[in-house]
Structure 1
Amino acid sequence: MKGLYLLITVFFIQVLYSQTLIHHTTNYFGPNANPVPEFTDALIPENTTLTVTGDYYFGHGDQTLSNNLKVEIPLIPEKVSVKIWKTLVEHYSVTDEIVSRRAMQKNSGFATGDFYIQTRIKILSEKRSRPALVLNSTLKTASGSDFRNRRFFNTAGYYFDFELGKSFLFDNSFIEEVRLVSDVGFFSWDVQTPNLNVQDDAIMYGFKLILKHKNLSLENTFSGYNGWIKRVEDYGDRPMIFSSRLNFSVRKTLWFAQFQHGIKYFPYEQIRLGVQIPLEKLTPDFFGEN
């Protein structure tokens, strides 16, 4: 009889565990799981570009080292492109408090991230009296690893956004160009809920100020998204961040350093170093222009 009671107890524990709600937000996962989407300067490149970054996320009980590989291929130069990126590998180390809060199984380890595939289309070219307008359509695949330790979601997502950008040029001034960029869109991802398929939908937004002087430029970006789910008080469905990035151009190669601060529901500070390399020989030439 005692054996029967034990089996029943174990069964109910398993049922309760399986019914545990996982909070699919940046407040309960690693920094690369569902970050605030990045946006550019509302321009599509003329040539294929390769961007490699190294990131260090720290603070709030989670330290993460990761790298990211991104390739943008213009199908029609400066008009239509395809962009693909992925966190190749990350190493994380978290405190016991974070392990308990996220229901993780260990304090440290390695994980690999999701593939993102994006199509970019220029809707409007920039003129003297109008800004440039670019439409981005992005698919987030469920290809990341280590869901048990809350590093990446095991669900897919997508987003559509518009980038609007306008430059203002100044003669005989230290700041030669000021570029203003705004971003607005719709972001959606699947949320794992027992016995029910739920989709979290969010409005994404962003504002960027770019100051340029010769081969130097400074980008300041404020961005975030607002979802609708509020299961608990600190569910974290509305992350908000601010970043400042310094770019240094050497010939056609761009080197950059960035600091990012999590204002709300993104419990990380970030230091990023990266390089963007043009790959002219790998640029498609469908129309025989080159």
Structure 2
Amino acid sequence: MILRTATVILLYILVSVSLNGQVDYTWWNEINNWDGVTPWDQYIIKSPGFMGPNALPVPEMKTGRLPDKTSIRLFTDFHYSNGDNTQDFFSSLYLPLAGNKVGLELYGVMVEHYKMDITTRNQRHSRDFDAKGFSVGDLNIAMLITLTRDHLKWPDMLIRIAFRIPSGSNMRGARFTDAPGYHFDLLISKKMTENFEITGMTGFYSWQLNYNTDRVLYHQNDAFLYGAGLIFSKKRIKIEGCITGYAGYVNIKDSPLVLRLKTEMAVGEIKGILSLQQGVKKDFDYTTLSFGIHIPISKNVF
């Protein structure tokens, strides 16, 4: 059943791409007052406030400790907003390396389904007439490097270096950027009591933009990345809350801020995950409900 569904979705995407060159975009030309010269993709604003929820998400907050085992995570996410409702499947693979001093993570949205209203479609300069369909997401690769762990005075700290490979589809629908991006950040955590732990994140987030105003051409957007959180854990239950975001400098709805609440419950070594994310600014005004599972595979084998 799953294989059949995946095949249908893939065929839908391939057919959509093949028919893309045959679509009459007169409606789009009129709505956007196209000058007949400027390429259409320069009308797409590569900013979290003008694209789908998976295009430029706020990076995940993590603790300053690397996991001990190879693991996979699978999520289904439901994003709700006034003009765009999106559902997706997300997956990640984590590999501990070098005696668990380094970690490698591959992650991203495998596929999303979306439906926008006409107002949102036009605000985003989307060329998707129906304002609904499927998209394939970007692949992200992150390297995590331990700085300190179990130190008597210092908190646990690690550096994360993450790159987004522009493998996503459907930039014409303002779903993904079709452009690279990266972020470097410092992740910190410190046990305050047996059950409570504080976390922090600070870093730099950058992505290719190519946004042209009347005066300036911005080739990329550079943002300050930040976050703080609190974790409560007892036996097989863990509850984590955080506030996190990034602040771009171009001022085109490029400074999203989100609140996240996540609950994990372990059954053996497998963890069930329920999380809620709420955007608190117009730069990202989605409410997201996620259901996931975390499956450890083995201990460090590298």
User: TM-score, with normalisation over the residues of structure 2?
Assistant: 0.83
Cα RMSD for the two superposed structures: 2.0
Alpha-carbon distance in structure 1 between the residues aligned to 2:41 and 2:57: 26
Contact 1:120–1:136 (CA under 8 A) maintained in structure 2: yes
Identical pairs, percent: 27
Q: CA deviation at 1:222?
A: 0.4
Question: Is 1:24 aligned with 2:41?
Answer: no
Asked if 1:215 corresponds to 2:236, the answer is: yes
Shift in Å, 1:213: 1.6
CA shift for structure 1 position 201: 0.4
Asked if the contact 1:155/1:192 (under 8 Å) is kept, the reply is no
> In the alignment, residue 160 of structure 1 is paired with which amino acid?
F
1:244-255 equivalences in 2 (<5 Å): 244-255=261-272
Give the Cα separation in 1 of the matches to 2:117 and 2:298: 45
User: 1-side partners of 2:42 and 2:193: how far apart?
Assistant: 55
Query: Does the alignment pair 1:63 with 2:81?
Result: no
The equivalent residue for 2:206 is: 188
Residue in 2 aligned with 1:239?
256
User: Alignment length, in residue pairs?
Assistant: 265
- Describe the superposition over 1:83-111 as per-residue Cα deviations: whole angstroms up to 9, x where unpaired: 00121000000111111111112310000
Distance 2:72 2:270 in 1: 10
Deviation at 1:192, TM superposition (A): 2.5
**Structure 1 gaps, min length 5:** 1-9, 171-176, 286-290
Q: State yes or no: 1:46 paired with 2:68.
A: yes
> Is residue 277 of structure 1 aligned with residue 295 of structure 2?
yes
Asked whether the 8 Å contact 2:74–2:90 carries over to 1, the reply is yes
Q: Which runs of 5+ in 2 are unaligned?
A: 1-29
- What's the counterpart of residue 83 of structure 1? 105
Secondary structure of the residue aligned to 1:149 is coil
Residues 1:36 and 2:54 aligned together: no
Is the 8 Å Cα contact of residues 229 and 241 (structure 2) preserved in structure 1? yes
Residue pair 2:149, 2:157 contacting (<8 A) in 1 also: yes
Structure 1 distance, partners of 2:148, 2:41, is 49
Task: Out of 63-72 and 99-108, give the one that drifted further.
Answer: 99-108
TM-score normalised by structure 1 residue count: 0.87
Structure 1 position 217, deviation (Å): 1.0
1:113 alignment partner in structure 2: 137
Q: In structure 2, what is the Cα distance between the partners aligned to 1:97 and 1:223?
A: 28
State the alpha-carbon separation in 1 of the partners of residues 96 and 61 from structure 2: 17
Give 3-state SS (helix, strand or coil) of 2:68's partner: coil
